[in-house]
Amino acid sequence: MKKKSNTKKYVLGLDLGGTNVRAAIIDTSGKLKSYIHFPTESQNGPEYVIKNIALKSLELIGKSGLSKKQIWRAGIGSPGPMDSKKGIIMGAVNLPGWKRVFLKDTLEKFLGVGVGVDNDANCAAYGERWAGAAKGASNVVGITLGTGVGGGIIIDGRLVRGANYNAGEIGHTSLNPDGRLCKCGAKGCLEMYASASAIAESAREAIRGGASSIMTEAVRGDIKKITSKTVYEALLQNDKTAENVWNEFIKYLGAGIANQINGLNPEAVVVAGGVINAGDRLFTPLREAVRRQTFALTFSAVKIVPAQLGEFAGAIGAAGLVINEGDFYGL
């Protein structure tokens, strides 16, 4: 086993998304030095995408006034499923054509530094634990509400990866085995009730079922255009339908979070995604919903807080993982 020191001071943090890539140079305390984002262009295939990430990263290093020698390692968050130990992407829904892609090996070849690959939601959760809303906490659950619901779990300061590195899929824990059919093939997944897309879908369902709402006017009758933001704006105007949708969303999200709290007894649950802009309209009733579904002692130990790192959480977390858990990636 090689042991290298981190005297070079900087790490490259990357977040590979279906639409955009985020690249950041981060110091070993988790501070962002510089960053860029650029289109993934996944239609050009994995080889092109990985080479482009390396080129743009090397450019960023140069523009930041650093030499490549000052970059210790690189971490990259990617959609899964994957083998994070070997750095192989098995096939990602948001990256068409990515089947058994050797992301670690290929990126190492182009970048010339050691690379660690992990699940994007794991990276985001780890970022918040390392340098964000749950900084310093040992036991943390991270949940990101977007198109889906991403999750990451940190126990005793280490990312929980599981038997074949696919732990943390909180979005696919079931709240109702007879419920809505999920993309994953199971029924009633948390993601089907608590993602930003699910909030919008619940509103559409209510309106199609005859509920009257100012949301219909807000999208000029084209209810396909309803988003979670439409629901939130209607909520602020005391729209009854939006209120019902919002309360249902919080009930399910609360149950999903309570399941994690009862199972893991964390000291922090960090919630990320655009929906957290709702502030107290989200967190006050959410904490109450969670309180009702957890043991008093367990609940007293946990804070449920909004994420702090925004769109670079994944890149920061990927950097933190290669710094603190490099052994797992063979670095």
Beta carbon of residue 80, minimum distance to Zn ion (angstroms, whole number) = 13
Establish if 93 lies at the interface with Zn ion (CB under 5 A).
no
* Residues whose CB is less than 8 angstroms from the CB of residue 205 and which lie 6 or more positions away in sequence, other chains included: none
Given 184, 214, 264, 301, the residue binding Zn ion (CB under 5 A): 184
Beta carbon of residue 181, minimum distance to Zn ion (angstroms, whole number) = 9
Strand order, beta sheet including 88-89: 82-83, 88-89, 101-102
Find the part of the chain contacting Zn ion (CB under 5 A) among 17-25, 55-63, 187-195, 274-282: 187-195
Establish if 189 lies at the interface with Zn ion (CB under 5 A).
yes
CB 230 within 8 A of CB 274: no
Given 36, 93, 167, 182, the residue binding Zn ion (CB under 5 A): 182
Establish if 88 lies at the interface with Zn ion (CB under 5 A).
no
Establish if 172 lies at the interface with Zn ion (CB under 5 A).
yes
* Residues whose CB is less than 8 angstroms from the CB of residue 66 and which lie 6 or more positions away in sequence, other chains included: 10, 25
Count CB-CB contacts under 10 A for residue 88.
16
Structure tokens at 245: 């949708």
| The residue to which tokens 């794991």 are assigned | 122
Beta carbon of residue 104, minimum distance to Zn ion (angstroms, whole number) = 27
Q: Which is nearer to Zn ion, 71 or 145 (CB)?
A: 145
Q: Which is nearer to Zn ion, 56 or 172 (CB)?
A: 172
Question: What's the residue count for the chain?
Answer: 331
Q: Which is nearer to Zn ion, 189 or 268 (CB)?
A: 189
Find the part of the chain contacting Zn ion (CB under 5 A) among 66-74, 108-116, 165-173, 296-304: 165-173
Establish if 180 lies at the interface with Zn ion (CB under 5 A).
no
Residue 190 three-state SS:
coil
CA distance 266 to 298: 8
